[in-house]
Amino acid sequence: MTMKKKFLRFILLIFCALAMIALLSACQKEVTFEDIVIEGEDVSGLQEGVYTLRYTIKNLEQYQKKHSASVNVIVTDQNNNVVELENQRTLKIKKDYVYLVTITVMSGDKVKTHNYTVTAIKSPITVTFTSIYNNFKDIIKVVPYGGTLTDIPEVPDYQPEEQAGYTTTVIKVGWDRADFTNLKSHIKVYAVYNITSERNLYRVIYHTDGGSEIPPRQYYYEEYLEEPEEPQKEGCVFFGWYKDKELKERFSFNKAQIGAENIDLYARWLQPVENSTSPDYFDFVLINNGKSYSISAKENIPMPETKTLILPSVYNGKPVTKIGKFSELANIKEVYLPESVTEIQPAAFSAQPLLGDGPAQTELERVFIHERAELTSIPEKAFAYCDKLHSINIPSGVLSIDKQAFLECSSLNEVLFEDDSKLKYIYEEAFQNCLSLEQISLGENMTALYGKAFYNCHALTEVTILALTPPSMAANCFYYNNGGQDQIIPSLTFYVPQQSLQDYKNNNSFKPFDNITALPD
């Protein structure tokens, strides 16, 4: 081929190429906002650390050659908190977090948005099997995130604490959740039990000691008891129910409920007091809703020549429980109070003279109170001004000797307390001016001695107190009047328990007294 032909071909090829370029340029379509495509796929299982967001925006650069357009990338976590990015691409991944990536392209009033998620690697899921009951030990199972738990433990036995008076039955029902598939959050599963609790039945057994029989009665726990009809026994009067065979602790049906055990009750009987003084000397008044009698001396009737009153324990088939007025018995020297007595009225034997009547007249020397009498107090002025009274015994159940109970009993030199005395309180002036009283012994329950309780008892040499804790004591309790001034009774010695000796000496109430001595062991 000649050089001329080669040149012409070359020119032709260039022309064709230029023609093709012009043709392609003429055919290319202009990129619009609608041609922009945002792409980003959900990603999961990412490790903790720095992560570069993977997304593309197609046709954005071509569009931006002729138009203004901006790109905004916002990432929020599962708590809707905005996460800081570097260069709109890089964020720090945290374990168990899920991130929402929002990419927005804006051009004027035109907006395009695309969302996708970035999920970090998930921790294993714990399933805790537990119970609301205190003695349960949790069972913990672990499964991969999104996994299924197949090893379901058996519901453990549950033994509730024993509840007095009830029988409890427990039946295992199961767990409060049945679906353990696709687990994506920690869960707590509770054991379910069917628990029933029923009140127990208990019996009240009546021991009548030869009286008419009373069948046992059954009650549910905490049910109120009904008082049975009184039993009968020939020649005796029923005197109530007691909790013990020794008949020391009385039982009351007033709002009584059955406890978590059977109850044994014992009947107490009264027999007429032998050689008791004739009822003709007394007035009897029904009290306690007609269940017992109060007894008083008849007025204007001479008392027995024996100068002894033996009060009856029963009258007309009912117990005599209250001692009324016996304060004008000028010729009576001895009085016997029966075991049925539960109350003495204030000033019952007081010889206090009435205003303008001159000195009181009383010959009372001795008072015998049955040791089983259920007195709780020697009341106010009960024996006040009985200036010839020299001996009295105090039953163990007496808790208090009240104000002026033995005021001006100047001959009193013997006050006998039972060994198990429950005496707690001696009130104001109870033994004031008991000039012959040389010694007194107070039991282990002694709690308080009030003002002038033993004032002017200047013959006192020994006061025994068995209480381990020093009782409270008024400042003038063991003082006497010496020429118009109060002074400690001379020659007075306190005898106290060996183990409490120092406590008594350090006690403010006893510090003024020099003679505090320990009892022998």
**pLDDT category of residue 329 using cuts at 50, 70 and 90:** confident
Q: What angle do CA 230, 235, 238 make, to 5 degrees?
A: 25
**Which pLDDT does position 22 carry in this prediction?**
55
Residue 5: pLDDT over 90:
no
Can you tell me the distance from the alpha carbon of 410 to that of 405, in angstroms, rounded to the nearest whole number? 13
- What's the rounded mean pLDDT across residues 156-163? 86
**pLDDT category of residue 516 using cuts at 50, 70 and 90:** very high
pTM for the full predicted model? 0.69
What is the 8-class DSSP label of residue 12?
H
Can you tell me the distance from the alpha carbon of 126 to that of 132, in angstroms, rounded to the nearest whole number? 19
pLDDT in tens, 113-148: 999 999 999 889 999 999 888 677 899 999 998 899
- What's the rounded mean pLDDT across residues 153-174? 91
Beta-strand (E) ranges in 288-401?
292-297, 308-310, 314-315, 318-323, 334-337, 343-344, 366-369, 377-378, 391-394, 400-401
**Which pLDDT does position 152 carry in this prediction?**
94
Instruction: Supply φ then ψ for residue 47, to 5 degrees.
Output: -75, 160
| In the chain, % of residues over pLDDT 90 | 80
pLDDT in tens, 195-221: 999 999 999 999 999 999 999 999 999
**Which pLDDT does position 26 carry in this prediction?**
47
pLDDT in tens, 32-52: 999 999 999 999 889 999 999
**Which pLDDT does position 361 carry in this prediction?**
72
Residue 161: pLDDT over 80:
yes
Closest CA to 320 of 298, 350, 288: 288
pLDDT in tens, 297-316: 998 888 888 899 999 999 99
Residue 330: pLDDT over 80:
no
**Which pLDDT does position 157 carry in this prediction?**
86
Can you tell me the distance from the alpha carbon of 385 to that of 351, in angstroms, rounded to the nearest whole number? 5
Q: State the first-to-last Cα distance of the chain, in angstroms, to the nearest integer.
A: 152
pLDDT in tens, 251-292: 999 999 999 999 999 999 999 999 999 999 999 999 999 999
